[in-house]
Chain A
C-alpha cells in the first residue's frame, strides 16, 4: 500500500466524520494561523520601520535623555538623569568639528491650532527648534521660508506648518503671512513643510515648528530637549565620540561613570526595534507552540478513539495479510493527513489575517514564505509525533482479538 492510497483512505475517513475531523484539526488550524499571522505582522512592521528610517538620511543621530524604546520600568539612575537643555545643543554647536549641523528641539504633543473659525483636532505635534531643524531632520520647506537665527534670538512668534494643518485650515487660501493661534497665542505663518506621508498608519505631516526660544516662552522649559546632529559625510563615528565628550564635560559626568544621556542612531533604533520584535517573535513561537501541542494532544486522542472504533477493521486487514507496518502506515498517514489538512487551512487563514491586519495598519502585506513552510512543517511533525503511539497500538493488535471485538 503506497502513500497515495493511504491518503485516499485517510481522506475517506476524514469526510465520513466531518465534524469530528474539523474539531480535531482546530488546534492545529489556530496554531498555524497564529504563526503566520504574527510573523506577517512582525515582518511588515520591521520592513516599514526600515523604510521610514532610511527616509531620514544616513548621517543623522540624536541625543536624548532616555533610551529610544523603553521596555518595562527604567532603572533609577536613568530616571534621575538631568534634562538636556538648549545650552547643551549650543555647546555642541560651538565645539564640535565633525558635524555639519546640530539642532536642539523640544516638542509638545496634543495642541490645537485655530485659524479664524476653523480648528484642527487637538493632536498636533509642536516642535521648538533652531534654524537647523529642517536640515537636520531631513525636512524640506515647500513654500515660504524657515525662521532665521535673528527670529530665534528675538523669540518671534513665527511658525512653519505641516501639510495636515494646511489642508485643514487653509483648504482654499494661501497660508503664508496669515496668523494662526495655539493656546490663544498668535503666530505668523512663514513657511510650509513638504509632506512626507504616513508611517505605521500615522501621519508624518501633523506637525508645526516654531523657534525654540519662542517655544520655551510659550510652553515652558521644564522638559528635556532632544538634540539632532548631522555628521559630516563619513565621519559619523568621530562625530558621535566628539559629542559624547562635549556633553560629558558640559553635564559634568565624572570620568569612569556611564553617560547620563543616550546617543541614538538609526542602527540603534533598528536594533532596539529588532530586539522588540524579537520578544514578540519568541512570545509568538511559545503561544503557537502551546497551541500546536494542544492540537497534537487532540490528534492523539482522536486517533486513539479511531483505533478502538476500528479494531475490527484492523483485525480484518490483518487477517487478509496486512503486516504491522501496513497498519502503522495507515494510521500514521491518517494523523499526518488530518494535521496537514488543518495546517493548510491554518496557512490560508493566517495569510488572510496577515493581509487584513496589514490593510488595517495601511502597510503593504508581507507574508514571510518561511512562516508558511514552518506552519506546514510543524503540522506535519505534530501529526507524526502524536500519531505514532496510536498507530503503534493499532499495529500491535492481536488479529484474533481484533476480529472478535464488538
Chain B
C-alpha cells in the first residue's frame, strides 16, 4: 500500500482575541491510497481543523504534512490552491454550489482553474455527472435540484479532476436518511472504484461505511481502529 498522507505532530493554534486556542495538539496519522476512513468527534474536538489541514485549506502552526511526497506545510497560498485543485475533491455538508451556475458549470469549475480548454472541460464534466447519475439534470441550476441531487453535483465536482483523495465533510448532514443512504452508496462505489475517501462526521451510521475510524477528542487522536480489512 502506498502512503498518501503523512501527518506528524500537527499542532494548530488559533488566536481568538487575546486567547490562544489549541485546536490540534499534536496529531499523527498515516493514510494510504484507496483507504476509506472516517474521522469522528464531537463539535469542538478539532476534526474540522484537521479536515481543513488535510484538505490544504489551512496550514498547521507546527508539524509536518506530507501529501504524496510533497511537503504541504511549507507551501504558500498559490501552491496550496494548486494542490487543492489537482489532489483534493471536497464534498461539503451545505453542498457549496454556485447558485447562478448550472450543474454542468459547477462541475466544470475545478477544470477551469487547471487551465483545461472549454471543449475538453465539457466532455470531462459530462462524464463526471454521468457517474453520479444526473445527466438529465445537468443544465439545471442548484435551486432547481433536490438536496440529494445537489450533493451528487458536488460529488461530481469533487471527482472531476481525478483527485488523490475525496474529502467529505458531513456529506449527509443536510439530507433525509433515505437520500443520505443513496449518497453514502455513491461513496462506497467510489471507494470500490479505487478512490481514497475521508469522511468527517459525528454520525456513527455514516462513519460505519468506512474501513477505518479515527476518533478525535480535544485535539488528540483518541482512537484509531481498523474496523474492516479489504
Contacts and interface: CB of A to CB of B under 8 A. Distances in A.
A321 B82 contact: yes
A173 interface: no
A320 B77 contact: no
Interface stretch (A22-30, A64-72, A308-316, A383-391): A308-316
Interface string A283-326: 00000000000000000000000000000110111111111111
B124 to A, nearest CB: 14
Given A320-B85, A320-B90, A403 B113 contact: no
Contacts of A142: none
A54 interface: no
B92 A323 contact: no
Name the residue in B58, B110, B113 with the highest tally of chain A Cβ atoms < 10 Å from its Cβ.
B113
B86 interface: yes
A16 interface: yes
| Secondary structure dominating the interface of B | helix
A76 to B, nearest CB: 71
A313 B95 CA distance: 12
Contacts of B112: 1, 5
Contacts of B81: 318, 321-324
A316 B96 contact: yes
A320 B78 contact: no
A324 B76 CA distance: 11
Interface in A373-406: 399-400, 403
Contacts of B157: 320
Interface in B85-126: 85-86, 90, 92, 96-98, 100, 109-110, 112-114, 118
Contacts of B84: 318-321
B229 to A, nearest CB: 33
A317 to B, nearest CB: 7
B75 interface: no
A193 to B, nearest CB: 72
A12 B97 CA distance: 16
A12 B92 contact: no
A323 B90 contact: no
B22 to A, nearest CB: 17
Contacts of A323: 77-78, 81-82, 113
A162 B196 CA distance: 99
25 contacts: A1-B113, A12-B100, A13-B100, A312-B96, A317-B113, A318-B84, A319-B55, A319-B57, A319-B84, A319-B90, A320-B85, A321-B84, A321-B85, A321-B86, A321-B113, A321-B114, A322-B81, A323-B78, A323-B81, A323-B82, A324-B78, A400-B57, A400-B58, A403-B57, A403-B96
- What 6 A-B pairs are tightest by C-beta distance, nearest first? A321-B85, A321-B113, A320-B110, A323-B81, A323-B78, A316-B96
Interface of B: 52, 55, 57-58, 77-78, 81-82, 84-86, 90, 92, 96-98, 100, 109-110, 112-114, 118, 157, 161
Interface of A: 1, 5, 12-13, 16, 312-313, 315-326, 399-400, 403
